[in-house]
């Protein structure tokens, strides 16, 4: 047997990156979340070559102080979490301090930022985990990140990427999720110079639903809003007659962050029981507000899954709220579906 040894930092980063950065869309998601956490009101995303050649995200958020730039790329370095208690009361999208370190380990990153209130910004590069010196940068308040040659040093990961169209599709999905969670944001997405989305700031989620999924879906939405103790469920469900084929058009958000949950998918399916053709799924955009102490968001590297303290309460809140709403719309007869 070999002796046990600590792994060199560049290996640790690559292992962590393997979990957090699966494909170009993961980079887009992480950078978007950082911009939202920085209080941005506008974010412009530009990608080239499906994101493998270039991912550029520009925001008008609070920016990063020049002396903090190298730390942004350090693993477990974050401005969003200080104590163990904070971990159980997360209010930001990020908190693990892993994204930039991971991206910087598997790509060539240029980070440019100017903090509010300072005259001149600063920039730093991180190539395969190696940091450059910090140089002055003459740009507007906010942050600009350029990620080039993603996975240039991880050939296996690069090999498993799908076609440009598929990767762009995943990136669009990341933008859609964030756009639904943050309607107040002005968001744009370009691919190879061509504008894919230009989403002006809005107050209404239905407006964005219409832009992404068509006016027929938007015009067939029912609003739901209900509470169970401190837990609130609100959002929109579509009339079961809206037929999206076999696509599962369901978006779930917990405290402003997109997530997936099979239990909730099941609750939805149950609420629509008898109303859908077989092989069809309910169309729903649901927002759950749960006190941070009652949910663990730290169970998955990309936070795509969560663990509720009382999942049966969530299940019945969703099922009964939606059933009631469908009944109000005269879609469900007044008797209960047998279980
Ligand atoms: P996390 O988001 O979990 O804190 P990241 O690696 O994504 O970790 O980012 C590290 C730190 O860099 C953040 O905590 C934040 O202070 C800073 N940062 C990253 N992106 C931005 C941005 N767009 N605007 C302002 N600060 C940023
Ligand atoms: Mg982050």
Q: Is the CB–ligand 1 distance for residue 308 below 6 Å?
A: no
Q: Is the CB–ligand 1 distance for residue 60 below 6 Å?
A: no
Q: Point out the ligand 1 atom lying closest to the alpha carbon of residue 99.
A: 6
Q: Is the CB–ligand 1 distance for residue 13 below 6 Å?
A: no
Segment among 244-248, 261-265, 316-320 with least mean pLDDT: 244-248
Q: Other CB atoms closer than 10 Å to residue 18's CB: what's the count?
A: 16
Segment among 51-60, 78-87, 194-203 with least mean pLDDT: 78-87
> Which residue, by CA, sits nearest to atom 16 of ligand 1?
79
Distance from Cα 97 to the centre of ligand 2, integer Å? 6
Q: Is the CB–ligand 1 distance for residue 102 below 6 Å?
A: no
Exposed/middle/buried for residue 84 (C-beta within 10 Å: 0-12, 13-18, 19+): exposed
Q: What is the pLDDT of residue 333?
A: 58
* 27 backbone dihedrals φ, ψ, rounded to 5°: -65, -45
Segment among 14-23, 135-144, 246-255 with least mean pLDDT: 14-23
Q: Point out the ligand 1 atom lying closest to the alpha carbon of residue 97.
A: 8
How far CA 160 is from CA of 146, 156, 276, in Å, comes to: 22, 7, 36
CA pseudo-torsion sign 321, 326, 332, 334: positive
Q: What is the pLDDT of residue 218?
A: 96
The total number of residues written for the chain in this structure? 339
**Region 119-142 average pLDDT:** 96
How far CA 271 is from CA of 35, 249, 279, 315, 330, in Å, comes to: 36, 15, 15, 10, 14
| Of 76, 126, 131, 133, the residue nearest 103 (C-alpha) | 126
Q: Other CB atoms closer than 10 Å to residue 50's CB: what's the count?
A: 24
Of the listed ligands, the closest to the CA of 58 is 1
Residue 334 has pLDDT above 60, yes or no: no
Segment among 21-30, 119-128, 151-160 with least mean pLDDT: 151-160
Q: What is the CA radius of gyration of the chain?
A: 22
Residue 18 has pLDDT above 90, yes or no: no
* 228 backbone dihedrals φ, ψ, rounded to 5°: -135, 100
Residue 84 has pLDDT above 90, yes or no: no
Asked whether 315 and 271 are in contact (CB, 8 A), the reply is: no
> Which residue, by CA, sits nearest to atom 23 of ligand 1?
35
Name residue, tokens 């029912």.
222
Distance from Cα 142 to the centre of ligand 1, integer Å? 12
Share of the chain above pLDDT 70, in %: 98
Q: What is the pLDDT of residues 137-190, one digit of tens each?
A: 999 999 999 999 999 998 888 888 889 999 999 999 999 999 999 999 999 999
> Which residue, by CA, sits nearest to atom 14 of ligand 1?
78
Mean pLDDT over the full length of the chain: 92
Q: What is the pLDDT of residue 336?
A: 58
Report the C-alpha gap between 141 and 205 in whole angstroms: 28
> Which residue, by CA, sits nearest to atom 25 of ligand 1?
63
Range of 15-24, 300-309, 317-326 with top mean pLDDT: 317-326
DSSP string, 190-250: EETTEEEEEE---S-HHHHHHHHH-HHHHTTEEEEEEEETTEEEEEEEE-TT---TT---E
The DSSP symbol for 3 reads P
Going along the chain from its start, the domains and CATH numbers come out as: 9-199 (3.30.565.10), 213-328 (3.30.230.10)
Residue 335 has pLDDT above 60, yes or no: no
> Which residue, by CA, sits nearest to atom 17 of ligand 1?
72
Instruction: Give the model's confidence band at 198: pLDDT under 50 very low, under 70 low, under 90 confident, else very high.
Output: very high
Distance from Cα 325 to the centre of ligand 2, integer Å? 37
Distance from Cα 208 to the centre of ligand 2, integer Å? 24
**Region 112-117 average pLDDT:** 96
Q: Is the CB–ligand 1 distance for residue 35 below 6 Å?
A: yes
Residue 339 has pLDDT above 90, yes or no: no
Exposed/middle/buried for residue 42 (C-beta within 10 Å: 0-12, 13-18, 19+): middle
Q: Is the CB–ligand 1 distance for residue 115 below 6 Å?
A: no
Of the listed ligands, the closest to the CA of 76 is 1
> Which residue, by CA, sits nearest to atom 8 of ligand 1?
97
Distance from Cα 35 to the centre of ligand 2, integer Å? 8
Under 8 Å CB-to-CB from 263, ≥6 apart: which residues? 311, 314, 315
Distance from Cα 94 to the centre of ligand 2, integer Å? 4
Segment among 131-140, 239-248, 250-259, 263-272 with least mean pLDDT: 239-248
Instruction: Give the model's confidence band at 191: pLDDT under 50 very low, under 70 low, under 90 confident, else very high.
Output: very high
Asked whether 10 and 101 are in contact (CB, 8 A), the reply is: no
CA pseudo-torsion sign 128, 134, 135, 138: positive
Q: What is the pLDDT of residue 15?
A: 79
Q: What is the pLDDT of residues 43-81, one digit of tens each?
A: 999 999 999 999 999 999 999 999 999 999 988 888 888
Distance from Cα 93 to the centre of ligand 2, integer Å? 7
Report the C-alpha gap between 83 and 225 in whole angstroms: 34
Q: What is the pLDDT of residue 138?
A: 96
Report the C-alpha gap between 35 and 144 in whole angstroms: 9
Report the C-alpha gap between 302 and 96 in whole angstroms: 10
* 178 backbone dihedrals φ, ψ, rounded to 5°: -70, -35
Please count the helices (runs of H) and the strands (runs of E) in the chain: 11, 16
């Amino acid at each position: 047997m070999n002796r046990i040894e600590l792994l060199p930092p560049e290996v640790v980063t690559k292992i962590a990156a393997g979990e957090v950065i699966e494909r170009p869309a993961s980079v887009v998601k992480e950078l978007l979340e950082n911009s939202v956490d920085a209080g941005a009101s506008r974010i412009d995303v530009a990608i080239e070559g499906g994101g493998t050649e270039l991912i550029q995200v520009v925001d008008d958020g609070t920016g990063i102080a020049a002396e903090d730039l190298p730390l942004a790329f350090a693993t477990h370095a974050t401005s969003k979490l200080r104590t163990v208690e904070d971990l159980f009361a997360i209010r930001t999208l990020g908190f693990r301090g892993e994204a930039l370190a991971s991206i910087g380990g598997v790509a060539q990153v240029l980070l440019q930022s100017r903090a509010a209130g300072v005259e001149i910004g600063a920039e730093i590069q991180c190539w395969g985990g190696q940091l450059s010196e910090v140089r002055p940068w003459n740009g507007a308040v906010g942050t600009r990140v350029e990620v080039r040659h993603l996975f240039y040093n991880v050939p296996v990961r690069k090999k498993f990427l799908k076609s440009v169209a598929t990767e762009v599709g995943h990136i669009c999905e990341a933008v859609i999720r964030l756009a639904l969670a943050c309607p107040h944001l002005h968001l744009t997405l370009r691919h190879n110079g061509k504008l894919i989305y230009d989403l002006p700031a809005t107050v209404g989620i239905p407006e964005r639903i219409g832009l992404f999924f068509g006016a027929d879906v938007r015009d067939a939405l029912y609003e739901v809003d209900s509470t169970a103790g401190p837990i609130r469920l609100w959002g929109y469900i579509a009339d079961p007659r809206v037929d999206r084929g076999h696509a599962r058009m369901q978006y779930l958000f917990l405290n402003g962050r997109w997530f997936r949950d099979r239990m909730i998918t099941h609750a939805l399916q149950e609420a629509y029981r008898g109303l859908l053709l077989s092989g069809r799924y309910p169309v729903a955009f649901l927002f759950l507000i749960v006190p941070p102490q009652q949910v663990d968001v730290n169970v998955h590297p990309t936070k795509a899954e969560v663990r509720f303290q009382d999942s049966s309460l969530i299940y019945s809140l969703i099922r009964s709220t939606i059933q009631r709403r469908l009944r109000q719309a005269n879609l469900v007869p007044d008797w209960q579906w047998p279980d």
